[in-house]
């Protein structure tokens, strides 16, 4: 039961991430366009902030979850 509940929690978190994070790559023909590139970087930073908030909030709920602790450290570097 415990493993099943953990799997269900992870699936719920994945669905939440899918809805909150929209990371689409920059179209190749716009890569040399400075304005488009800057806008893309701003969007990417916003998405990284969203991921950071999610990981940190989950880290507060389960501080002994080792992969989550690693993810917290990784998202701080972004």
pLDDT of residue 46: 84
Q: How many CB atoms lie within 10 A of CB 21?
A: 13
- pLDDT, residue 63, reads 64
Q: In the predicted model, what is the mean pLDDT of residues 9-38?
A: 70
Which region, left, alpha or beta, applies to residue 27 given φ > 0 means left and ψ of -120 to 50 means alpha? beta
Mean of pLDDT over the chain: 72
What SS3 class is residue 74? Answer: helix
Tell me the helix, strand and coil percentages in the chain, rounded to 5: 80, 0, 20
Q: What percent of the chain is modeled with pLDDT above 90?
A: 0
Is 78's pLDDT higher than 70? no
């Amino acid at each position: 039961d415990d493993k099943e509940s953990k799997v269900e929690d992870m699936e719920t978190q994945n669905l939440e991430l899918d809805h909150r994070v929209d990371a689409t790559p920059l179209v190749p023909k716009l890569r040399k366009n400075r304005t488009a590139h800057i806008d893309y970087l701003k969007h990417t930073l916003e998405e990284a902030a969203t991921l950071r908030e999610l990981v940190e909030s989950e880290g507060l709920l389960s501080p002994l979850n080792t992969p989550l602790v690693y993810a917290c450290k990784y998202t701080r570097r972004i």
